[in-house]
Amino acid sequence: MTPEKLIEQAKKAMSHAYAPYSGYKVGAALLCADGTVYGGCNIENASYSPTNCAERTAFFKAVYDGHRDFQAIAIVGGKNGALTGAFPPCGVCRQVMREFCRDDFVIYMGGPGESYQSMTLAELLPCSFSASEHMN
């Protein structure tokens, strides 16, 4: 799947966001190794701590369905649903990605129009530790 098509899926997922407090709607589209795509959106909560990011929503749905091999994720977001530039994943989401993904996992951060940035997980989360390091 091309980055552009994955970003389009993330834009569709963004429309499901529940963000009454921040107004920032975020969508994600997670590409599994077998070609399956899982969408996710951010889901806010008045007490903030139970809020779940779009990226984690997509990962948790995929893991629930038995997927453990991932290739890439596209993330888009912006105030009131208007794309406002690249939306990198938060630190918690980066660590969830690291739990399931290799260093070469690609994160596409979509912006306005057709623009996007891409980075590998190793670039976004250098010097990280993973589950495989703790299991050996």
Residues serving a catalytic function are 55
Q: Please choose, from the candidates 104, 101, 4, 17, the residue with its C-alpha nearest in 3D space to the C-alpha of residue 62.
A: 101
Instruction: Give how far Cα 69 sits from Cα of 91, 98, 105, 126, Å.
Output: 21, 12, 10, 20
Count CB atoms within 10 A of the CB of residue 32. Answer: 17
DSSP state at residue 45:
-
Alpha carbons 18 and 22: distance in angstroms, whole number: 10
Q: Where would I find the beta strands (DSSP E) of 2-127?
A: 24-32, 37-41, 70-79, 106-110, 116-120
Helix (H) or strand (E) holding 7: helix 3-14
